[in-house]
């Protein structure tokens, strides 16, 4: 890039932090602004698997792949499939040296990315409230009263991105399925029956009639995940459920999942801490927009999708790396952003559409209540490795 623009990255999640890493590796200055007061100021959520064909490629570009593997859990790639009576339907256990998609806690990933950036790169306590433009300079307005000017603004600010509003009027839509976050601590001692059901990785359970439990072992003896069901978006109010009262939520779940066996009920009722109600939302897919000079978005801000396939964080990381490479290699900012968006649209559009369709299909009523089939885990892992080889082979011999 022949220019030396001021670059502001809005959002200190995996995609934003990874973009800063790769930009700095190319000698390009960039500052990250995040609403949180610190890297560990809030619960970042559960675990995620980083795929060989996306998230791991981005970490390699940032020089962080070894640091990731030092924290990652290969055994977390295991998958168990049970019906709502607890009957084992399918089971997969990875080899000890399988690195196709190891698991890492979201908080661990964020801290790893943050700690290896130069001090002061991330400005915590900066919640974006507005973005204005005058004479090709973008002014970021923050809730703390400060402003920052930049020639390039990268929105890594998630599903409800404020930066995206400068590019498109598209907004996330409710997919018809709500869920409750659940957490089980010290599971091998306090919840041995749940630990046995889940195993070392992920447990998929559905009754084939719009209800499911999907949970995953995290680090430090924790299992996290969600209890999900088809519902109106305001289901709690409609059903008279007090989300702040665990007994009220548990009564609702026992009614809603009344056909589930006693073996599976601890997954519904024995969680540690409060239930956290959430909804599955996604942007229209595939989503594109016309170029707006000096502004772009990545990750969920660009293509928020259902979690089926586990693409979200992986694509955010790869978006961040590819955007940084484009800014380094192209002669101008606009050439770089055009290259990045063109490739990103092609890479993510079909994945988002497929993930959203998969969620709707998974929670649709199945004939005779036969549980919906989930992808074969072994095939998924080998496909990640094959696509990783193809992706690397297709890259131009530019400096990486």
The CATH number that applies at residue 151 is: 3.50.50.60
Domain holding 31, by residue range, is 7-172+283-395
pLDDT digits (tens, 9 = 90+) for 296-319: 999 999 999 999 999 999 999 999
Please check whether residues 196 and 163 belong to one and the same domain. no
Please check whether residues 317 and 344 belong to one and the same domain. yes
pLDDT band at 113 (very low <50, low <70, confident <90, very high): very high
Please check whether residues 69 and 160 belong to one and the same domain. yes
371's tokens: 């549980």
Please check whether residues 318 and 245 belong to one and the same domain. no
Angstrom distance (rounded) from CA 57 to CA 344? 15
* In a domain? residue 276: yes
Please check whether residues 126 and 109 belong to one and the same domain. yes
Please check whether residues 229 and 252 belong to one and the same domain. yes
Exposure class string for 290-321: b at 16+ Cβ within 10 A, else e: eeeebbbbbbbbbbbbbbbbbbbbbbbbbbbb
Binding residues, by number, are 42, 49, 106, 300
- Please tell me the predicted confidence (pLDDT) of residue 366: 80
* In a domain? residue 206: yes
Angstrom distance (rounded) from CA 75 to CA 199? 10
- Please tell me the predicted confidence (pLDDT) of residue 89: 93
Angstrom distance (rounded) from CA 262 to CA 45? 28
| Total domains present in the chain | 2
Q: Which residue has the tokens 């220019």?
A: 3
Please check whether residues 131 and 204 belong to one and the same domain. no
Q: Which of 258, 281, 304 is a domain's end point?
A: 281
Q: How close are the terminal C-alpha atoms of the chain, in Å? A: 15
Name the pTM for this structure.
0.95
Angstrom distance (rounded) from CA 352 to CA 179? 20
- Please tell me the predicted confidence (pLDDT) of residue 371: 61
Query: Which whole number is the average pLDDT over 248-272?
Result: 96
pLDDT digits (tens, 9 = 90+) for 16-43: 999 999 999 999 999 999 999 999 999 9
Please check whether residues 27 and 140 belong to one and the same domain. yes
Please check whether residues 166 and 188 belong to one and the same domain. no
Please check whether residues 191 and 311 belong to one and the same domain. no
* In a domain? residue 318: yes
pLDDT band at 2 (very low <50, low <70, confident <90, very high): confident
* In a domain? residue 41: yes
Angstrom distance (rounded) from CA 24 to CA 119? 12
Binding residues for FAD, by number, are 49, 106, 300
- Please tell me the predicted confidence (pLDDT) of residue 369: 58
88's tokens: 């084992």
pLDDT digits (tens, 9 = 90+) for 357-391: 999 999 998 876 566 667 789 999 999 999 999 99
- Please tell me the predicted confidence (pLDDT) of residue 203: 97
pLDDT digits (tens, 9 = 90+) for 192-241: 999 999 999 999 999 999 999 999 999 999 999 999 999 999 999 999 99
Query: Which whole number is the average pLDDT over 93-121?
Result: 97
Asked if the model's pLDDT at residue 399 lies above 50, the reply is: no
- Please tell me the predicted confidence (pLDDT) of residue 162: 98
- Please tell me the predicted confidence (pLDDT) of residue 375: 77
Binding residues for NADPH, by number, are 42
The count of residues in the chain is 400
- Please tell me the predicted confidence (pLDDT) of residue 102: 97
pLDDT digits (tens, 9 = 90+) for 136-155: 999 999 999 999 999 999 99
The three-state secondary structure class of 263 is coil
Query: Could you write out the DSSP letters of every residue in 109-153?
Result: HHHHHHHTSPTTSEE-S--EEEEEEETTEEEEEETTS-EEEESEE
- Please tell me the predicted confidence (pLDDT) of residue 396: 59
144: Cα separation from own chain's centroid: 27
């Amino acid at each position: 890039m022949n220019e030396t623009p001021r670059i502001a990255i809005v959002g200190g999640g995996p995609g934003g932090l990874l973009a800063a890493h790769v930009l700095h590796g190319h000698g390009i200055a960039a500052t990250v602004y995040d609403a949180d007061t610190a890297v560990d100021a809030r619960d970042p959520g559960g675990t995620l698997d980083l795929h060989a064909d996306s998230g791991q490629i981005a970490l390699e570009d940032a020089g962080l792949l070894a640091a990731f593997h030092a924290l990652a859990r290969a055994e977390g790639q295991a998958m168990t499939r049970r019906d709502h009576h607890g009957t084992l339907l399918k089971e997969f256990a990875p080899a000890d040296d399988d690195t196709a998609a190891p698991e890492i806690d979201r908080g661990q990933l964020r801290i790893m990315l943050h700690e290896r950036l130069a001090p002061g790169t991330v400005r915590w306590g900066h919640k974006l409230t507005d973005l204005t433009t005058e004479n090709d300079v973008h002014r970021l307005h923050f809730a703390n009263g400060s402003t920052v000017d930049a020639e390039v603004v990268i929105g890594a600010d998630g599903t409800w991105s404020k930066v995206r509003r400068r590019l498109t009027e598209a907004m996330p839509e409710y997919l018809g399925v709500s869920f409750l976050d659940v957490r089980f601590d010290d599971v091998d001692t306090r919840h041995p029956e749940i630990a046995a059901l889940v195993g070392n990785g992920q447990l998929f359970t559905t009754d084939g009639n719009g209800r499911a439990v999907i949970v995953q072992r995290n680090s430090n003896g924790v299992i996290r995940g969600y209890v999900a069901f088809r519902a109106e978006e305001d289901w709690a109010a409609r059903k008279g459920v007090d989300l702040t009262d665990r007994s009220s939520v548990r009564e609702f779940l026992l009614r809603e999942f009344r056909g589930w066996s006693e073996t599976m009920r601890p997954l519904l009722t024995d969680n540690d801490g409060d239930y956290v109600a959430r909804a599955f939302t996604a942007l229209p897919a595939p989503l594109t927009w016309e170029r707006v000079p000096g502004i772009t978005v990545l990750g969920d801000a660009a293509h928020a999708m259902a979690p089926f396939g586990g693409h979200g964080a992986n694509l955010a990381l790869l978006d961040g790396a590819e955007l940084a490479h484009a800014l380094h290699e192209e002669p101008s900012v606009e050439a770089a952003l055009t290259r990045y968006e063109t490739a990103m649209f092609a890479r993510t559009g079909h994945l988002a559409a497929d993930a959203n369709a998969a969620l709707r299909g998974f929670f649709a009523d199945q004939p005779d209540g036969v549980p919906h089939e989930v992808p074969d885990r072994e095939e998924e892992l080998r496909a990640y490795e094959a696509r990783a080889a193809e992706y690397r082979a297709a890259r131009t011999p530019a400096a990486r």
